[in-house]
A and B are shown apart, each in its own frame.
Chain A
Amino acid sequence: MSSNPTPVDPALLTGEYDEAKLDSVIGNIVLDQKTHNYPEIAVPGPIKGLKTNPWQIMFGLGFLGLNALLLAVGNLLLSGIGIWGNNQPVGWGFDIINFVWWIGIGHAGTLISAVLLLLRQRWRNSINRFAEAMTIFAVMCAGLYPLLHTGRPWVAYWLFPYPNVLGMWPQFRSPLIWDVFAVSTYMTVSILFWFVGLIPDFATLRDKATAAIPRFAYGALSMGWTGNAKHWHRYEQASLFLAALSTPLVLSVHTIVSYDFAMGIVPGWNVTIFPPYFVAGAVFAGFAMVLTFAIPLRKWYKLEDLITMKHIDWMCKVMLATGLIVFYGYIMEVFFAFYSGEPAELALLHNRVNLFNAPYSWAFWILILTNGIIPQVLWHPKMRQNLGVIFTVCMSISIGMWFERYVIIPISLTRDFLPSSFGFYTPTIWDFLMFGGTIGMFLFLMFLFVRFLPMINMFEMKELLHQLHEHHHDDHHGDKEPAANH
């Protein structure tokens, strides 16, 4: 702890806390199911006195969405992917848009848990756990799209190299196969990292729980963790290694996702700026989603002392920085198209920006508005303290990041080289149902997570507490020393 060179900002933990109180505040969300009843919301309508709580509402919405997803997937499996709007010339529409959107959202979790760990940023401690959960659930949602777009998901194992009677192997020169390896590695490593982080907290819950079932369940999950000093020694090494491995992993995953486009010769796709600007966009979208969840959760579960306005302020600054990188990317795309002098690229530029004479240009301008212009309000410190404004900006960013992929895919594919192959892309009700369905599944999983797993890392918060105390001790020493000299 004393090896940490930078003092910890006391604003990261407001209020009076000791270790036991931290455990109770975080652990009781899981162990004492009554905490979910706050705040009670009266249900309007004929049944007098019926009350509900935010957890039930969000979980219910998620459950509805999940059922919509099952319906969409069920029909897809029965009827085939013809029910989607994909057709010539747009061979992949909502499925790739939503895939990239979800993967991007997941990236903030890895960034917070891995990159900020390597940079010794202590403010990650209270947000890393649910950001990592978000990563896993977002990757699950993302994975559904390419899996179902194969048309026959029951033979999806064909994507993996395995000896078979046909003597065929995957095409390793294809970015789509790189995607298979990148996304499945990302999913696996994210789960490992998440689980390793949870082990000491499972032990805490095991020891705090009074009822038999949670004691057994958390006991089994903690795998007999004792908190032995030698175990901690190796545990910290493992966390550091996993962080050091996840950092290049998270960069490579979205780079490879961007290769899906950048390796093609389609106008608007074949640009070298795609990898860095996709990665920045992923962090941008991911932090927006982290804040979208953090703002209501900290209020509903009274975690304002743990996820403080300082955290929110810094997350806003990260969004501002990555947002500017993304905005720079949009400007550069326009500039490259203009500077190349390539007729196909120039025509694409026209199709993107000409609001009056191009069918999809509205999407480009929504993108510029929601991703480029609206987030700039965060420059003002007062705006970074206004939760309503931040929440609205986060929603705007989520919409904007979705439109970013919409601009990349249908605009390029419907107007490529030959006018004879121009066309339109019209998503069907099933596309929308499936998109809404994955949002529902995400909500469903997130709120199950909130109910059954500690959403803030307990042992890291205790570490933070010790560092804060150490810092205070240092201050006292500083006060006393001149007196001792006299």
Chain B
Amino acid sequence: MSHGRDTSPKPYAVVAEFETPDQLLSAVERTKDAGYRDVEAYSPVPVHGLTDKMGFKDDRLWLICFIGGVTGACLGMALEWYTSAGILIPNSIRTPFGFSLPVPAPTGVDGYAHNTGGKPLFSLPAFVPVAYELTILLSAFGATFGMLGLNGLPKPHNPIFNASAMRGASQNRYILSVEATDPNYNEVELSQFLNSLNPLSVEAIKTSEGY
């Protein structure tokens, strides 16, 4: 009803419910073979081999995790180098002409360079632990938030939940859906086809009102 966008419920997917992971695996395979492209599967436990059958592979997460780690290591080391050593700028530079050139007071580039117990300003061995912890921290952020981001979570509303079978998808049911974005999407044909796979139930669902 708002802003001229049509928000009435539209077809979203046809959902078939199976009892075991093996049934889901073969159903996905046969749906793919039947020429459907936008096939999704939902299961209470990870079913191995399912993403292979769907032709899905996503290896971006390790890259995100790795970038996080490298950032953490560099950030940690840079922090320690800057705060403990930094760039030391002399008060004046001696020239060959017999006078010294004053250097304006440095504006914080020298960090907090203090001689502690005669240790070098940049004490690399002592700086390892903090950089190491930050490496792990930022990689872990990468792994967690990368996973959530790539999965599009948090996602409070998802039209797939309009399927009554989806309540079992987190418990003991294995769900296959073909989404309306599929070029071959036709509710009647699809329902007939999915029924031939021997499911517990088949259901055509629509998007929610207002979305």
Chain A residues with Cβ under 8 A from B157's Cβ?
A: 224
Residues of A within 8 A of B (CB-CB), count: 64
Residues of A159-188 at the interface with B, using a CB-CB cut-off of 8 Å, are 161, 167-173, 175, 177-178, 181-182, 185, 188
Query: In the bound complex, do residue B129 and residue A229 qualify as a contact, i.e. CB atoms below 8 Å apart?
Result: no
Given the complex of chains A and B, what is the CA–CA distance between A199 and B111 in angstroms? 43
Partner of A227, one of B42, B134, B146: B42
Query: In the bound complex, do residue B50 and residue A252 qualify as a contact, i.e. CB atoms below 8 Å apart?
Result: no
Chain A residues with Cβ under 8 A from B119's Cβ?
A: 173
A18-26, A91-99, A397-405: which lies at the interface: A18-26
Residues of B53-88 at the interface with A, using a CB-CB cut-off of 8 Å, are 54, 56, 58, 61-62, 65, 79-80, 83-84
Which of A193, A208, A225 is most buried by chain B, counting CB atoms within 10 A of its CB? Answer: A225
Given the complex of chains A and B, what is the CA–CA distance between A175 and B168 in angstroms? 51
CB distance from B113 to the nearest CB of A (A): 10
Judged by a CB distance under 8 angstroms, whether B180 is at the interface is: no
Query: In the bound complex, do residue A224 and residue B112 qualify as a contact, i.e. CB atoms below 8 Å apart?
Result: no
Judged by a CB distance under 8 angstroms, whether B108 is at the interface is: yes
Query: In the bound complex, do residue A170 and residue B83 qualify as a contact, i.e. CB atoms below 8 Å apart?
Result: yes
Query: In the bound complex, do residue A249 and residue B56 qualify as a contact, i.e. CB atoms below 8 Å apart?
Result: no
Query: In the bound complex, do residue A241 and residue B65 qualify as a contact, i.e. CB atoms below 8 Å apart?
Result: yes
Query: In the bound complex, do residue B44 and residue A172 qualify as a contact, i.e. CB atoms below 8 Å apart?
Result: no
B93-101, B136-144, B185-193, B194-202: which lies at the interface: B136-144
Nearest B residue (CB) for A182: B133
Partner of B171, one of A207, A224, A228, A256: A207
Nearest A residue (CB) for B41: A229
- SS class, residues of chain B in contact with chain A: helix
Given the complex of chains A and B, what is the CA–CA distance between A52 and B139 in angstroms? 47
Chain A residues with Cβ under 8 A from B23's Cβ?
A: none
Judged by a CB distance under 8 angstroms, whether A1 is at the interface is: yes
Judged by a CB distance under 8 angstroms, whether B34 is at the interface is: no
Known contacts being A178-B130, A181-B134, A223-B153, is A172 close to B172, with CB within 8 Å? no
Chain B residues with Cβ under 8 A from A203's Cβ?
A: 170
Query: In the bound complex, do residue A196 and residue B171 qualify as a contact, i.e. CB atoms below 8 Å apart?
Result: no
Query: In the bound complex, do residue A224 and residue B158 qualify as a contact, i.e. CB atoms below 8 Å apart?
Result: yes
Known contacts being A167-B108, A224-B153, A230-B58, is A245 close to B136, with CB within 8 Å? yes
Judged by a CB distance under 8 angstroms, whether B123 is at the interface is: yes
Judged by a CB distance under 8 angstroms, whether B169 is at the interface is: yes
Known contacts being A231-B151, A463-B45, is A241 close to B132, with CB within 8 Å? no
Chain B residues with Cβ under 8 A from A248's Cβ?
A: 136
Chain B residues with Cβ under 8 A from A241's Cβ?
A: 61-62, 65, 139-140, 143
Chain B residues with Cβ under 8 A from A178's Cβ?
A: 129-130, 133
Query: In the bound complex, do residue A19 and residue B40 qualify as a contact, i.e. CB atoms below 8 Å apart?
Result: no
Chain B residues with Cβ under 8 A from A449's Cβ?
A: none
Query: In the bound complex, do residue A223 and residue B45 qualify as a contact, i.e. CB atoms below 8 Å apart?
Result: no
Residues of B1-59 at the interface with A, using a CB-CB cut-off of 8 Å, are 21, 40-51, 54, 56, 58
Judged by a CB distance under 8 angstroms, whether B89 is at the interface is: no
A66-74, A232-240, A407-415, A418-426: which lies at the interface: A232-240
CB distance from A164 to the nearest CB of B (A): 10
Query: In the bound complex, do residue A226 and residue B166 qualify as a contact, i.e. CB atoms below 8 Å apart?
Result: yes
Given the complex of chains A and B, what is the CA–CA distance between A193 and B48 in angstroms? 22
Query: In the bound complex, do residue B129 and residue A252 qualify as a contact, i.e. CB atoms below 8 Å apart?
Result: yes
Given the complex of chains A and B, what is the CA–CA distance between A69 and B104 in angstroms? 54
Interface size band for B: 35 or more
Chain B residues with Cβ under 8 A from A230's Cβ?
A: 40, 51, 54, 56, 58, 151
CB distance from A135 to the nearest CB of B (A): 14
Nearest A residue (CB) for B83: A169
Query: In the bound complex, do residue B170 and residue A252 qualify as a contact, i.e. CB atoms below 8 Å apart?
Result: no
Judged by a CB distance under 8 angstroms, whether A242 is at the interface is: yes
Known contacts being A229-B54, A237-B62, A238-B147, is A200 close to B139, with CB within 8 Å? no
Chain A residues with Cβ under 8 A from B123's Cβ?
A: 172-173
Chain A residues with Cβ under 8 A from B42's Cβ?
A: 226-229
Chain B residues with Cβ under 8 A from A200's Cβ?
A: 44, 170
Nearest A residue (CB) for B146: A238
Chain A residues with Cβ under 8 A from B127's Cβ?
A: 172-173
Given the complex of chains A and B, what is the CA–CA distance between A207 and B139 in angstroms? 32
Judged by a CB distance under 8 angstroms, whether A2 is at the interface is: yes
Given the complex of chains A and B, what is the CA–CA distance between A207 and B171 in angstroms? 8
Given the complex of chains A and B, what is the CA–CA distance between A234 and B148 in angstroms? 9
Partner of B112, one of A169, A206, A462: A169
Query: In the bound complex, do residue A233 and residue B112 qualify as a contact, i.e. CB atoms below 8 Å apart?
Result: no
Judged by a CB distance under 8 angstroms, whether A466 is at the interface is: yes
Query: In the bound complex, do residue B51 and residue A182 qualify as a contact, i.e. CB atoms below 8 Å apart?
Result: no
CB distance from B140 to the nearest CB of A (A): 5
Partner of A207, one of B56, B116, B133, B170: B170
Given the complex of chains A and B, what is the CA–CA distance between A1 and B48 in angstroms? 6
Judged by a CB distance under 8 angstroms, whether B154 is at the interface is: yes
Query: In the bound complex, do residue A466 and residue B154 qualify as a contact, i.e. CB atoms below 8 Å apart?
Result: no
Chain B residues with Cβ under 8 A from A193's Cβ?
A: 140
Query: In the bound complex, do residue A171 and residue B171 qualify as a contact, i.e. CB atoms below 8 Å apart?
Result: no
Given the complex of chains A and B, what is the CA–CA distance between A231 and B155 in angstroms? 12
Which of A206, A229, A236, A237 is most buried by chain B, counting CB atoms within 10 A of its CB? Answer: A229
Q: Mark B161-191, 1 if CB is under 8 A from A, else 0.
A: 1000011111110010000000000000000
Chain A residues with Cβ under 8 A from B103's Cβ?
A: none
Q: Given contacts A169-B84, A230-B51, A230-B58, could you give 5 more A-B pairs where the C-beta distance is less than 8 Å?
A: A171-B116, A230-B40, A236-B46, A462-B45, A463-B46
17 contacts between A and B (CB under 8 A): A3-B48, A161-B79, A172-B83, A173-B119, A182-B133, A185-B133, A196-B147, A199-B153, A207-B168, A223-B154, A226-B160, A227-B169, A234-B58, A234-B151, A238-B146, A462-B45, A463-B46
